[in-house]
């Protein structure tokens, strides 16, 4: 059967002035984003970084007669928001005209996503949404889990009772999605002039008692417990055990970082060798010309610097996605809440900090789930200290210098020390920052839902990894290529001997001399403030071999890169998340100056000890 | 009066009322802690604990749990 409707991702083209807006609303972990992806058939605009959907996502659904803007929103527990991401959802419900100019303040229809295995808790939200008067279509997800728990779902009876269409969805097979589309289109088209929806800003205890009482009644009538759920072994008995839980936690984190290095090493060597080979090939085939030099000395090393650490990033994204989709991350957050609260953070800081080991940008966006303002700002401030993937090529180069290629164990140990160092630094900074930040201590506590354990849907995991990795290449790639080209031009014209870098570079000497390195390393350091990984390709371009940097300077540079804030993209995101340039600039300057002073200290100390 | 923070591992109780921080109470009510809701404790760590309420699992700080006043038997029993 041919599809009834077809989807297109933006650009949004509509004939009518204002497109219809269809909103996906539901609890966190209700399977909303998965359903949204199946509904729109695209993963392109979905930002499902570990943690949750923290911003709304749109996709345009075009048919012959009409155009519908389909929006995925962050999960909410009720219509009174508790955190930044939840406030986004309330905004899409009440002030949509600010997000889509020309639209009415309210959406034209809601798809309320309900996890069918948890009716007792999630139907309370449905009660609130039905009361708004907005047209509602209910999508029941996780039908398979509900059936496994012995629930018999009378969705037709439920549909008659609430007087709104109900569509059961099988998330794994996608069964029911087409029906949902048809039902949504029908609901949107037959929409009558509706009364202005009413959304109370806050619910009283009595109202909530009423809502959950309704949820109890509905569950009893239409989500019938056929057989008492089988008493299976509960994984949480181990995962949240005061002793075994920690052993498992440390084991999982250890494996996570261990596999990033050891699994991906052959891949990375292969890619580096491949780029070298292509370079040699061009040198052999092409006659000497400026074009060849541009390619072999400028473009290829730049591209290689990005490509080499793609395996590590993909591996990290893969493992984080795996942990997320299994449901472990919420358990991890529960375990570390106590230690994190000691340094002024929160268990909810765990997922953003962990994502910070991949890249600070998604990590900063993930902080929106943190309810307390002070805790959120502190988490944002220490995220740049996490050992992000852009540091890895720099660490790789300096460590292989330090211990030589023949000691992979020592290099691994060094890497471990750097990770520990960054965590220690972040803890210290959080403590100091907490004292300096003139904000009252947040008293929202820590509450988190522990989602049902799931076997990951491999297809979803791989699709996510693919898009996240591609996103990283698209973000980092162009910057590095452009900077490599600029650097190549600066260092080759008019002639390599009288080029701009040759003339101006030596002025950097006094600044980097205390680190025990010459001005060419200084130029590379200077350029690495745009993005850390540029350092490696810049050194290559300037003809600095790793062996030309002394032992003490290597250690000093490692310390520098561990702390210094060198990423323009992170700075821009931090500005967006905090709402001003002030805090991001102060923190960046502080980290960079601190890194410089500490690096000099380390180098000079090692000199005194007699290390070259 | 007993609070949720004081119950023993494996014990099942019912939510009765709330006390203390209104922001935390608001959040807990949204999560399904409503007078009459059945709660059972299945894990206790240092500082945090995890309970089952309304068919799902919720973890929270013990100081948050002390906002929930409990009774040991459902009023219907």
pLDDT in tens, chain B (77 residues): 799 999 999 999 999 999 999 989 999 999 999 999 999 999 999 899 999 999 889 999 999 999 999 998 755 44
Find the closest chain A residue to B34 by CA distance.
A209
Find the closest chain A residue to B63 by CA distance.
A445
Q: Cβ of A274 under 8 Å from any chain B Cβ?
A: no
Give the nearest partner residue to B34 out of A209, A245, A347, using CB atoms.
A209
Q: Cβ of A2 under 8 Å from any chain B Cβ?
A: no
Compute the average pLDDT of residues A565-570: 88
Measured in residues, chain B has a length of 77
Residue A584 vs residue A397, higher pLDDT: A584
C-alpha distances out from residue A600 to A241, A522, A547, Å: 45, 14, 20
Residue A457 vs residue A285, higher pLDDT: A285
Residue A611 vs residue A355, higher pLDDT: A355
Cβ contact, residue pair A447, B28, below 8 Å = yes
Which residues of A fall within a CB distance of 8 Å from B64?
445-447
Q: State which of A18-22, A93-97, B38-42 shows the largest mean pLDDT.
A: B38-42
| pLDDT tier at A231, thresholds 50, 70, 90 | low
Tokens 């986004």 identify what position?
A88
Least trusted range by pLDDT, from A10-14, A171-175, B44-48:
A10-14
Give the closest-approach CA distance of A357 to chain B in angstroms.
Answer: 25
Cβ contact, residue pair A242, B34, below 8 Å = no
C-alpha distances out from residue A254 to A257, A420, A424, Å: 5, 12, 16
Pair A569, A475: CB distance under 8 Å: yes
Token pair for A598? 């500490």
Number of Cβ within 10 Å of residue A291's Cβ equals: 11
Find the closest chain B residue to A246 by CA distance.
B45
Compute the average pLDDT of residues A542-555: 83
Give the closest-approach CA distance of A332 to chain B in angstroms.
Answer: 11
Give the closest-approach CA distance of A245 to chain B in angstroms.
Answer: 9
Cβ contact, residue pair B32, A121, below 8 Å = yes
Compute the average pLDDT of residues A493-502: 77
Helix (H) or strand (E) holding A51: none
Give the closest-approach CA distance of A209 to chain B in angstroms.
Answer: 6
CA distance A379 to A352: 8
Give the closest-approach CA distance of B32 to chain A in angstroms.
Answer: 6
Give the nearest partner residue to B56 out of A121, A205, A242, using CB atoms.
A121
Residue A181 vs residue B1, higher pLDDT: A181
Q: Mean pLDDT in chain A?
A: 84
Tell me which of B31, B46, B55 to substitute to probe the interface with A (most A C-beta atoms closer than 10 Å). Answer: B55
Cβ contact, residue pair B27, A443, below 8 Å = no
Give the nearest partner residue to A338 out of B37, B48, B55, using CB atoms.
B48
The pLDDT assigned to A332 comes to: 94
- Asked whether the predicted pLDDT for residue A115 surpasses 50, the reply is yes
Give the closest-approach CA distance of A411 to chain B in angstroms.
Answer: 36
Cβ contact, residue pair B48, A449, below 8 Å = no
Compute the average pLDDT of residues A307-317: 81
Pair A208, A200: CB distance under 8 Å: no
Give the closest-approach CA distance of A132 to chain B in angstroms.
Answer: 17
Give the closest-approach CA distance of A348 to chain B in angstroms.
Answer: 11
- Secondary structure class of A83 (helix, strand, coil): coil
- Asked whether the predicted pLDDT for residue A328 surpasses 50, the reply is yes
Which residues of B fall within a CB distance of 8 Å from A208?
29-30, 34
Pair B45, A335: CB distance under 8 Å: yes
The pLDDT assigned to A2 comes to: 37
CA distance A448 to A240: 14
Q: Which residues on neighbouring strands pair with residue B41, listed in sequence order? A: B51
Residue A457 phi/psi, 5-degree rounding, is: -85, 105
Which residues of B fall within a CB distance of 8 Å from A209?
34-36
Q: Cβ of A45 under 8 Å from any chain B Cβ?
A: no
CA distance A19 to A109: 12
- Asked whether the predicted pLDDT for residue A50 surpasses 60, the reply is no
Cβ contact, residue pair A450, B58, below 8 Å = yes
Find the closest chain B residue to A146 by CA distance.
B55
Least trusted range by pLDDT, from A258-262, A531-535, B15-19:
A258-262
- Asked whether the predicted pLDDT for residue A602 surpasses 90, the reply is yes
Give the closest-approach CA distance of B13 to chain A in angstroms.
Answer: 17
Tell me which of B3, B20, B32 to substitute to probe the interface with A (most A C-beta atoms closer than 10 Å). Answer: B32
The chain B residues in contact with chain A (CB within 8 A) are 18, 21, 23-24, 26-32, 34-37, 42-48, 50, 53-61, 63-64
Per-residue pLDDT tens for A435-493? 888 888 777 889 998 988 888 878 878 888 888 788 778 777 787 788 778 878 887 77
Token pair for A566? 């060198």
Which residues of A fall within a CB distance of 8 Å from B47?
337-338, 341
Least trusted range by pLDDT, from A355-359, A373-377, A497-501:
A497-501
The pLDDT assigned to B66 comes to: 95
Which residues of A fall within a CB distance of 8 Å from B63?
445
- Distance spanning both ends of chain B, measured CA to CA: 20
Per-residue pLDDT tens for A404-436? 767 777 877 888 899 999 999 999 999 999 988
The pLDDT assigned to A338 comes to: 94
Residue A134 vs residue A611, higher pLDDT: A134
Per-residue pLDDT tens for B12-32? 999 999 999 998 999 999 999
The pLDDT assigned to A600 comes to: 95
Helix (H) or strand (E) holding A484: helix A458-492
Tokens 């509450």 identify what position?
A447
- Asked whether the predicted pLDDT for residue A254 surpasses 60, the reply is yes
Which residues of B fall within a CB distance of 8 Å from A373?
none
């Amino acid at each position: 059967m041919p599809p009834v409707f077809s989807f297109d991702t933006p650009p949004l083209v509509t004939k009518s002035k204002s497109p219809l807006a269809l909103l996906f609303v539901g609890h966190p972990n209700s399977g909303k984003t998965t359903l949204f992806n199946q509904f729109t058939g695209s993963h392109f605009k979905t930002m499902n970084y570990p943690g949750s959907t923290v911003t709304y996502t749109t996709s345009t659904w075009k048919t012959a007669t009409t155009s519908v803007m389909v929006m995925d929103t962050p999960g909410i527990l009720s219509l009174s928001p508790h955190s930044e991401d939840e406030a986004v959802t309330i905004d899409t419900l009440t002030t949509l005209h600010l997000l889509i100019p020309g639209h009415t303040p309210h959406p034209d229809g809601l798809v309320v996503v309900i996890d069918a295995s948890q009716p007792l808790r999630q139907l309370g939200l449905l009660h609130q949404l039905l009361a708004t008067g907005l047209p509602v279509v209910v999508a029941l997800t996780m039908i398979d889990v509900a059936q496994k728990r012995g629930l018999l779902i009378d969705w037709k009876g439920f549909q008659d009772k609430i007087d709104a269409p109900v569509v059961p969805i099988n998330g794994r097979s996608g069964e029911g999605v087409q029906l949902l589309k048809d039902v949504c289109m029908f609901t949107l088209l037959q929409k009558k002039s509706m009364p202005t929806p009413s959304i109370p800003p806050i619910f009283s205890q009595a109202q909530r008692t009423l809502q959950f009482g309704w949820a109890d009644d509905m569950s009893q009538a239409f989500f019938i417990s056929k057989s008492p759920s089988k008493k299976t072994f509960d994984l949480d008995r181990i995962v949240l055990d005061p002793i075994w839980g920690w052993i498992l936690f440390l084991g999982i984190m250890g494996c996570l970082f261990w596999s990033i290095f050891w699994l991906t090493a052959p891949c990375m060597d292969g890619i580096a060798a491949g780029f070298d080979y292509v370079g040699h090939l061009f040198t052999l085939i092409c006659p000497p010309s400026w074009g060849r030099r541009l390619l072999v000395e400028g473009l290829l090393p730049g591209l290689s610097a990005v490509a080499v650490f793609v395996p590590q990033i993909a591996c990290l994204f893969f493992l984080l996605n795996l942990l997320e989709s299994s449901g472990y991350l919420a358990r991890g957050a529960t375990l570390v809440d106590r230690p994190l609260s000691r340094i002024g953070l929160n268990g909810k800081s765990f997922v953003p900090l962990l994502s910070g080991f991949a890249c600070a940008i998604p990590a900063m966006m993930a902080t929106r789930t943190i309810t307390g303002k002070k805790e959120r700002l502190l988490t944002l401030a220490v995220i740049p200290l996490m050992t992000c993937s852009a540091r890895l090529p720099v660490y790789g180069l300096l460590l292989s210098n330090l211990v030589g290629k023949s000691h992979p164990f020592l290099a691994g140990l060094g890497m471990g020390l750097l990770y520990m160092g960054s965590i220690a630094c972040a803890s210290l900074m959080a403590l100091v920052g907490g004292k300096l930040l003139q904000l009252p201590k947040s008293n929202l506590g820590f509450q988190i839902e522990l989602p049902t354990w799931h076997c990951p849907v491999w297809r979803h995991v791989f699709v996510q990894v693919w898009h996240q990795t591609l996103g990283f290449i698209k973000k980092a790639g162009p910057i590095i290529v452009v900077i490599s080209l600029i650097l190549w031009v600066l260092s080759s014209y008019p002639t390599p001997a009288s080029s701009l870098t040759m003339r101006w570079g030596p002025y950097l000497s006094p600044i980097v001399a205390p680190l025990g390195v010459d001005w060419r390393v200084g130029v590379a350091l200077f350029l690495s403030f745009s993005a850390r990984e540029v350092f490696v390709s810049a050194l290559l371009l300037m003809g600095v071999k790793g062996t030309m940097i002394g032992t003490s300077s290597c250690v000093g540079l490692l310390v520098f890169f561990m702390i210094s804030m060198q990423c323009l993209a992170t700075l821009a995101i931090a500005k967006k998340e905090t709402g001003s340039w002030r805090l991001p600039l102060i923190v960046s300057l502080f980290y960079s100056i601190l890194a410089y002073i500490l690096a000099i200290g380390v180098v000079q100390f090692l000199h005194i000890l007699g290390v070259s | 009066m007993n609070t949720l923070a004081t119950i023993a591992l494996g014990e099942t109780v019912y939510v009765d009322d709330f006390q203390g921080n209104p922001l935390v109470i608001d959040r807990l009510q949204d999560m399904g802690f409503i007078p009459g809701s059945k709660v059972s404790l299945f894990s206790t760590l240092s500082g945090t604990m995890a309970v089952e309420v309304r068919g799902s699992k919720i973890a929270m700080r013990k100081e948050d749990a002390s906002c929930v006043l409990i009774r040991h038997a459902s009023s219907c029993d």
